[in-house]
Structure 1
């Protein structure tokens, strides 16, 4: 079995198991909306290493909505929900759980059983996750960031985008603008560049132009 064949079989098995549990799939990812939150999981398999890995993440729906407005990409708001899982211009989200299975068998029955077990585990962790609101998400993100800094004080990853987005959603525009200016001055692109401008450069202009606007989800 080639890697391409394995990916195809795993994708088909994932779609069956995810659909049976009320999740949708796209490009090797399963996803589901629960209230204000978007949950997604990526499944990867290696024929050579005979192992499979999955990672479950979540993020507030409102964050991607606002992110697209800031970047000048409002058309994305009308795209299928799957874009939140597969799109390049989206928030990555915070990992809730991950799992690696080694020594996997590559026959159809074994792959079916593997996907079934993994989706059951995904659903359990998504159900148990104590994150239902933007504020709960930020608490989760702040905790994850502190743990990363403890291990790697110079880590490039940060949660300034999440902090800025929450401030804007709360209409705390001065706080949001301070973050945008600080991160832009530090040369931080936010990992997103559209039309030659970084996320924080877009954010500065968006916030300055904001006061008369309502940017809350549905506003």
Structure 2
């Protein structure tokens, strides 16, 4: 009898919980997350029954990006939420993807979830350790964000994604307010909403108000 998707999800989650403990990550609702220095990492691992793959995506962001993001949107109450909210919250800064892997599965029945997930989490833990050791400050971070964005646009030149929010919040953290205001005006002139709208105002309109205060 064919294994059900719900059973696959259960086995993946059980394996993730065990791996999380071994590498000092946390587990919540099907994903792993941890804070390393000023960086926040989170991982989604899912089993895709019909195409027989175990899919992994590792993301990262500067931890305080969310705090400034919430200040702009007047959502300071989110700062009191659990650490997992930085990964799973609807109103959060998106992370940058830094590693992806699709593991082919010949047959789900008999597949060693524990061993495969453990090996995968070990790999992503090493990757995150390496990145955390290289990004020492906000300047290092934005340089790395730009590098990741260049790699993305090289592979997908027609992408509509941009890193203007990351650039803006970096300027705010560095107290470069004049430059931040100029960037907001540029984004508004392009009719860029920033991907978020609250109470009839988009992200950059709210950022404009925030920078006046």
TM-score (norm 2): 0.92
The Cα RMSD (Å) is 1.5
Q: Distance in 2 between matches of 1:193 and 1:118?
A: 37
What is the deviation of 1:108?
Answer: 6.6
What is the deviation of 1:67?
Answer: 0.3
3-state SS in 2 of match to 1:43: strand
What is the deviation of 1:192?
Answer: 1.6
- Contact (CA 8 Å) 1:134, 1:166: kept in 2 or not? yes
What is the deviation of 1:105?
Answer: 4.1
Q: Distance in 1 between matches of 2:24 and 2:110?
A: 23
Distance 1:124 1:174, change over 3 A: same
- Which of residues 145, 149, 155 in structure 1 aligns to 2:149? 145
Q: Distance in 1 between matches of 2:136 and 2:104?
A: 33
- Which of residues 194, 205, 208 in structure 2 aligns to 1:204? 208
- Which of residues 146, 170, 174 in structure 1 aligns to 2:174? 170
Within 5 Å, which residues of 2 pair with 1:152-163? 152-163=156-167
Q: Which moved more, 1:54-63 or 1:68-77?
A: 54-63
Q: Cα deviations across residues 20-52 of structure 1 (Å, max 9, x unaligned)?
A: 211001121101111111111111211111101
Q: Distance in 1 between matches of 2:78 and 2:110?
A: 37
- Which of residues 13, 20, 23 in structure 2 aligns to 1:21? 23
Distance 1:150 1:106, change over 3 A: closer
Q: Which moved more, 1:79-88 or 1:187-196?
A: 187-196
Within 5 Å, which residues of 2 pair with 1:12-161? 12-107=14-109, 110-129=112-131, 130-161=134-165
> Which residues of structure 2 form unaligned runs of 5+?
none
What is the deviation of 1:194?
Answer: 1.9
What is the deviation of 1:132?
Answer: 3.5
3-state SS in 2 of match to 1:90: coil
> Which residues of structure 1 form unaligned runs of 5+?
210-219
